[in-house]
A and B are shown apart, each in its own frame.
Chain A
Amino acid sequence: MITMQSLILLAVYLAVLLALAWPMGIYLARVGDGTAIRGLGWLRRIEDFLYRIAGTSASAPMTWKTYALALLVFNALGVLFVYAVQRLQFWLPLNPQALANVSPDSAFNTAVSFASNTNWQGYGGESTMSYLTQMLALTGQNFFSAATGIAVAFALIRAFAARSANSIGNFWVDLTRTTLYVLLPVSAVFAVFLVSQGAIQNFSAYKDVTLLDPVTYTQAKNDADGQPLKDAKGEPVTETLTAKTQTIAMGPVASQEAIKMLGTNGGGFFNANSAHAYENPTALTNFVQMLSIFLIPAGLCFALGRMVGDIRQGWAVLGAMTVLFVGLTTLVLFAEQQAHPGLAALGIDQAAGALQSGGNMEGKETRFGISASALFAAITTAASCGAVISMHDSFMPLGGMVPLVLMQLGEVVFGGVGSGMYGMLIFAILAVFIAGLMIGRTPEYLGKKIQSFEMKMTSIAILVTPTLVLAGTAIAVMLDPGTAGMANPGAHGFSEVLYAFSSAANNNGSAFAGLSANTPFYNTLLAIAMWFGRFAMIVPILAVAGSLAAKKRIDVTAGTMPTHGPLFVALLVGTVLLVGVLNYVPALALGPVVEHLQLFAR
């Protein structure tokens, strides 16, 4: 069943998003055009100062190859820096809990993860990362990876708009302008709002509070080397302890939380991510967090329309994204409200009502309930955000399948900041190509002829992530270190592995988090998937941009296929679904589909 509450929440969400994305689109178009923005002359001076000390200039054009090289060098630098800070954090300042240096494989995984805008959390934030690592290394990459994605989107959009140009813009300018004009100011306002609602922002050591009711618990006893002690029979020795205090993790959370959502990064300050009340304290902060995930991806649709001089083209892309989003979101809203047959047999009340949200509450927070948790899960995986307010691993089989599918469609249903736009434009190129084959004309999109070079690069960009996902999953389920990580038995264990590779290669970062992925095997394999899932897509897309920019813009004639109407929206939706279905249906059948049949077979 699907509650009226869920439907109203979805409708209100989309309406508010639209109202905010429109002005954001106008603003983004100006940032991407490089034009001066009224009232921000002082920022222009800072910008120019940065270019001067960097030895570049706002008017220095780049070919697509130079652009790609600059992008790769900058992001490789990010990987090295994040790796180094993690490996040295014990000796660096702002580490009041004296957290140890991060292990080499975990540090490598996290460095690639944050540079590729994946922000997969193989680690538990509050028990692993010092405040310095969180704010300097991880928060920094949250900005830079987001700006990198938006830069590529700008380059591709400008290439469509350009007339016989040999440049696609300047990477340093796109990076700097996106960071200073868009990400930083919006994050600052958002962070202060989060604090006003209860998100924390401090540099204190973790705080001890006295419990009203002491907690008695048992834990395994370790010997001096930290190895579990065994008794004469080989059973682990446990001890019973009583805790009279609770130690509460602190830190500069809100500043990181804001850019984590706005930049569709998703790597939380805490292990529990946005489910933690210090990251996401109320229903209101949650609503704003959901808006902030889609704000830039939706805004870029309108920026596209403005920059190519035909606003209807932006509406068409936004329309295709919205159709896919609403369809899949409805399924997860339905699935999570279902009653679990095993719990129903125990006489547990799972019905939605005025006093409780009911439904599948395992791994969900009371303040978010079913509607907000399911909607958030769809948003965070439609965009390549990957933040979570509920544990996707504990979703119902079909409920967990929706996030999986949204990632596997290539993160183009809104998608990551920038990456959703360039990913969807690549699908649009494929769609006009298929249409061109059907009607026997040279395909055109946004006034540019699509020819064999573009189609070769488009094929690479579209096939790179399914290859990484399916090959990675196949390798992991065939090898012992891969299967050892599964936390749940049966089909669900397979889903955990499939989810991990879908998330990594598509740069999402959410997880079926039961999977023990903080091992050298998974850290390495997933890091490879994240790196190539990001940059083996960006480079061919920049090549497409370079080739398109050099072409003439052709005028619309009676023979031009319109790409702004419902017919094209349907064609685009169909292309995205077709590619997704062909790639992933067999794998999905082995995971969530089987599990659904097992759970409800009676």
Chain B
Amino acid sequence: MTSILRPALVLFAALSLICGVFYPYAITGIAQLAFPDQASGSLTSRDGTAVGSSLIGQAFSSPRYFWGRPSATSPMPNNAGASSGSNQGPTNPALIDAIKGRVEALKAADPGNAAPIPVDLVTTSGSGLDPDISIAAAYYQAPRIARERNLALGAVRSLIDKHGKPQYLAFFGEPRVNVLALNLALDQRP
């Protein structure tokens, strides 16, 4: 049995040191040297204060801001310390109730808007921290933003176009726009 125990113990310890200590520290060293911003979380700051990460969604609820994907994290939406989806199945009545509530909130914030609501604006994201919405979801909210901020609708739409990312080669990636970047740009306007 020692002919098995010794190699088991020695190799477990040695390979644990290589894969579990040396490897993560080496990658951290390279990452912090070569890509310090990304490795530290792609944080965005305004006037010297960190106001978020371009990869982590925030829960906007003021009508003056673009709203992001609904979030199922607890206790508060977009809890970046405890990512989670809703895990509600398609036949769960609670799913339909929750979506009804979101539709009503969107309509209450913009009663004049009769356009159909894009699906990603009323369904929760997988992580609960989705930083993006579809271009359709941004366009849907443009009239409300224009009214609340006294901007021309065209100005809001061109802001969306400026920050939006297209799909490449008709199959790669999805049309989307980063909500935090869009809202920071809104606040920057006079």
Contact = CB atoms under 8 A, between A and B. Distances in A.
Interface of A: 4-5, 8-9, 12, 50, 53-56, 66, 69-70, 73-74, 77-78, 81, 124, 126-127, 135-137, 139-140, 143-144, 172, 175-176, 179-180, 183-184, 187-188, 191-192, 195-204, 206-213, 215-217, 219, 241, 243, 246-250, 252, 254-256, 259, 270-272, 275-278, 281-284, 287, 340, 342-343, 346-350, 353-369, 371-373, 388-391, 393-397, 400, 487-492, 495, 512-514, 595, 598-599
A192 B3 CA distance: 39
Contacts of A397: 90-91
A213 B49 contact: no
Contact of A283 (B3, B9, B174): B174
Contacts of B89: 393-394, 400, 488, 492, 495, 512, 514, 595
A241 B77 CA distance: 12
Contact of A139 (B11, B19, B87): B19
Given A5-B170, A252-B28, A595 B91 contact: yes
B141 to A, nearest CB: 13
A598 B91 contact: yes
A55 B58 contact: no
A356 B52 contact: no
B131 A277 contact: yes
Contacts of B5: 73
B38 A200 contact: yes
Contacts of A217: 75-77
B31 A250 contact: no
A255 B28 contact: yes
Nearest to B11: A54
B124 A362 contact: yes
Given A140-B16, A356-B137, A366 B8 contact: no
B129 A272 contact: yes
Contact of A271 (B54, B83, B120, B174): B83
Given A184-B18, A197-B38, A348 B126 contact: no
A353 B92 contact: no
A270 B116 CA distance: 34
A363 B83 contact: no
B183 interface: yes
Given A363-B126, A364-B125, A394-B90, A212 B51 contact: yes
A217 B75 CA distance: 7
A371 B130 CA distance: 17
A201 B31 contact: yes
Interface in B84-111: 84-93, 95-96, 99-100, 103
B15 interface: yes
A598 B89 CA distance: 12
Given A53-B14, A196-B38, A278-B55, A346 B103 contact: yes
Contacts of B117: 347-349
Contacts of A184: 18-19, 23
A133 B79 CA distance: 22
A356 B34 CA distance: 34
Contact of A127 (B82, B125, B175, B176): B82
B85 A363 contact: yes
A215 B78 contact: yes
B61 A342 contact: no
Interface in B1-58: 3-12, 14-16, 18-21, 23-24, 26-28, 30-32, 34-35, 38-43, 49-56, 58
Nearest to B37: A198
Contacts of A366: 69, 120, 125, 130, 132-134, 174, 176
B87 A348 contact: no
B20 A212 contact: no
Contacts of B124: 362-363
Contact of B38 (A175, A199, A206): A199
Contacts of A202: 28, 31-32, 39-41
B39 A200 contact: yes
A341 to B, nearest CB: 9
Nearest to B2: A55
Contacts of A342: 90, 95-96, 99
6 contacts: A144-B15, A196-B38, A201-B32, A259-B19, A272-B127, A348-B116
Given A55-B10, A127-B82, 4 more contacts: A179-B18, A198-B42, A343-B119, A363-B87
B108 to A, nearest CB: 15
Contacts of B32: 201-202
B90 A365 contact: no
A144 to B, nearest CB: 7
A432 to B, nearest CB: 34
B28 A355 contact: no
A514 B94 CA distance: 13
Contact of B11 (A135, A175, A210, A243): A175
Q: Which of A204, A365, A393 has the most CB of B within 10 A?
A: A365
A192 B56 contact: no
A204 B117 CA distance: 40
B184 interface: yes
Contacts of A127: 81-82
B87 A78 contact: no
Contacts of B116: 347-349
A-B residue pairs, 3 tightest by C-beta: A514-B87, A275-B126, A283-B173
Contact of A287 (B19, B172, B187): B172
Contacts of A124: 82-84
Q: Which of A54, A81, A241 has the most CB of B within 10 A?
A: A54
Nearest to A179: B15
Contacts of B187: 212
A212 B86 contact: no
A76 to B, nearest CB: 9
A276 B57 CA distance: 10
Nearest to A137: B20
Given A188-B26, A346-B99, A366-B125, A275 B85 contact: yes
B121 to A, nearest CB: 9
A50 B87 CA distance: 46
